[in-house]
Structure 1
Amino acid sequence: MASQTALEAAYRTLISRGRLSHDNGQAALVSRLAQLQTSLSQPRSKLNAPAPRGVYIYGSVGTGKSRIADLFAATLPAQISRRRIHFHEFMLDVHARLHTARSQSSFRGDPLIQIGMDVRKESQVLCFDEFQVTDIADAMILKRLFSVIWGTGGVLVGTSNRPPEKLYENGLNRDLFVPFIHQIKDRCEVWKMEGQDDYRTKDIDDPADRIEVLFLDHSRFEESLHSQLSGQALQHFEIAVHGNRGFSVSA
């Protein structure tokens, strides 16, 4: 019997402890990501040998995509650098790096090349949660950025609610984004997460235990808000935004 990977061992342990229930769709994904763990752990025979293909995972909400991806990232061998991050947060970081690069007096050429190299040096494996593209600023830079990351041996494992061809659907200048979709399909196996159960609500035995609060009457909402906040002192906060700017709020 072949030895199991750390991911497979962790998954089976969670099932045996009742933390997870066996699910065929999740088990199949664990097996596929275990193969990727094995490939990443093996030394590359040649310096220019291509990195293994990543996995782009999509499917309905609540099917366990993120849970398994979390487990994959957490059980990667220590020598494999990884970054587990929400895709939107990653793009905010990229835009911050772009701003820093362009504000330097020595700025020349396309800063995304150096940013891509820096991202790759920091992490061999990028694990994205909630991969979606809705912003034209993101859409226009992804191909250039990931050409560098993939070209230098980076590996992507991402989860999304939609397949690659549905990313940035009906977006402005989408034809300029389509080449990145082709890149995803070339550098990642596109994996559809099977399953109908929404595991976000599995632990709720009785639907009556769920508490939902809906405010349909604005006046009652304001009364409720006033009763909760009356007598409370306002606190002042400074919220940082990109470009070394910020604005003050009181709450």
Structure 2
Amino acid sequence: MSLTVRHPKVPTERLLAELVPPQHFARESFDTYEPDPAHASQREVRDRLREVADALAAPTRTGGSWWRRRAAASAPAVYLDGGFGVGKTHLLAALAHAVGPERVAYGTFVELTNLVGALGFAATVDALGERRLVCIDEFELDDPGDTVLMSRLLRELADRGVAIAATSNTLPESLGEGRFAAEDFLREIQALAARFEVLRIDGEDHRHRVVTTDAALLDADAVRAAVSARPGGALDDFDALLAHLASVHPSRYGALLDGVDVVGLTGVHGIDRQDVALRFVVLVDRLYDRDVPVVASGDGTDLFTADMLAGGYRKKYFRALSRLAALTSQGAALVAERKA
């Protein structure tokens, strides 16, 4: 199969139904989070989020404007501030699971801005305003327009009594210290800053892994053979796929991968246009969320230019490189298994 022949039509109901914790964290809970005894803040934040979950799980009341104002004033708003690999996403997913999937919308910053692009601002507020809690993973400050949009969205939701929980994104290259400070987050959401409770999580990367951004490249014949051997394999020329992504709204990139369990790319090379690069970043995020291995061939040049890696969107690019390296490592392992 080929991704470039797919033009998914995604109803609003599906876009909203997909706002759940990623597959990596589908079974995580507060009980599966193991705080490091050397860092008391990990246990303290977990216990505080349990309190938030208990408060949000209580029955809600409907009524007049007085009750709505009271709900808005009491709705929790928490920001998990910490370095790479201390369990922020685990705890955010645990909070979502504890409150209940039917009462929570969970997405990354990019997924929620894409949702606004697909539905429109007012429709997004109305849809998310029905939830008890909105979780935003990897809150980003690299695009001023998107930051203003998200700040306005959060304000509208908080005024409706919707609780908010957010984490920051991190640079894979920076490991434990790779975060933007809580002060930056609060400054950018000035109208809501006073409502947010900052929960600082200390600690080292619990996975103790070496983060790589080097994708594992194969030869083109190996890529074709690996994909043809799997019923759920999709094979595409890199340039053709990049061109196709421009014709599909980013909110539908997940649907683009329906039924796909490995992606093969031939002719992978460096990308020199920022709009093209950012669309590919979103696709990599959806591949990573769904644990879809990638097998790729190419010329071995850097995927993103030096200017991109030094510019305002550098966090997005480094995250994509790290995730793509993980996915291509999985793909290379599939090829090795087939040969064994």
SS in structure 2 at match of 1:85: strand
User: Is 1:47–2:67 an aligned residue pair?
Assistant: yes
> Who is 1:96 aligned against?
118
* Deviation at residue 114 of structure 1 after TM alignment: 4.4
Give the conservation status (yes or no) of the 8 Å contact 1:51–1:154: no
SS in structure 1 at match of 2:86: coil
**Residues 167-206 of structure 1: matches in 2 within 5 Å?**
167=185, 178=187, 180-195=188-203, 197-201=204-208
Report the residue type matching 2:129 in the other structure: R
User: Is 1:83–2:105 an aligned residue pair?
Assistant: yes
Give the conservation status (yes or no) of the 8 Å contact 2:125–2:156: yes
Aligned with residue 225 of structure 1, among 219, 230, 236: 219
Alpha-carbon distance in 2 for matches of 1:38, 1:94: 29
Structure 2 alignment gaps of length 5 or more = 1-28, 169-178, 229-233, 254-263, 267-340
Q: CA RMSD in A?
A: 3.8
Structure of higher CA gyration radius: 1
**Residues 1-251 of structure 1: matches in 2 within 5 Å?**
11=30, 13-14=31-32, 20=34, 22-23=36-37, 24-43=40-59, 47-48=67-68, 49=70, 50-77=73-100, 81-98=103-120, 112-121=121-130, 123-160=131-168, 161-167=179-185, 178=187, 180-195=188-203, 197-201=204-208, 224-226=218-220, 228-229=222-223, 235-236=235-236, 238-239=244-245, 240-242=247-249, 251=266
> Who is 2:303 aligned against?
none
Alpha-carbon distance in 2 for matches of 1:114, 1:211: 39
Structure 1 alignment gaps of length 5 or more = 1-9, 99-111, 168-176, 205-209, 216-220
Alpha-carbon distance in 1 for matches of 2:95, 2:184: 25
Give the share of equivalent positions with the same residue, in percent: 19
Q: Deviations over 1:38-79 (max 9, x none)?
A: 32234568623123221111111011111111111111157x
> Who is 1:174 aligned against?
none
Give the conservation status (yes or no) of the 8 Å contact 1:83–1:127: yes
Q: Deviations over 1:87-138 (max 9, x none)?
A: 211111112223xxxxxxxxxxxxx3443232212x2201111111212331
Report the residue type matching 1:85 in the other structure: G
Change (3 A) 1:43 1:25: same
* Deviation at residue 165 of structure 1 after TM alignment: 3.1
Q: Deviations over 1:188-243 (max 9, x none)?
A: 20121122x21122xx7xxxxx796958xxxxx98x43463477889456545339
Count of aligned pairs between the two proteins? 196
Alpha-carbon distance in 2 for matches of 1:226, 1:56: 45
> Who is 1:103 aligned against?
none
Alpha-carbon distance in 1 for matches of 2:99, 2:104: 8
TM-score in terms of structure 1 length: 0.63
Give the conservation status (yes or no) of the 8 Å contact 1:39–1:52: no
SS in structure 1 at match of 2:164: strand
Change (3 A) 1:62 1:70: same
* Deviation at residue 145 of structure 1 after TM alignment: 2.1
Alpha-carbon distance in 2 for matches of 1:133, 1:52: 24
Change (3 A) 1:163 1:156: farther
SS in structure 1 at match of 2:32: helix
Give the number of the structure whose residues are more often helix, by fraction.
2
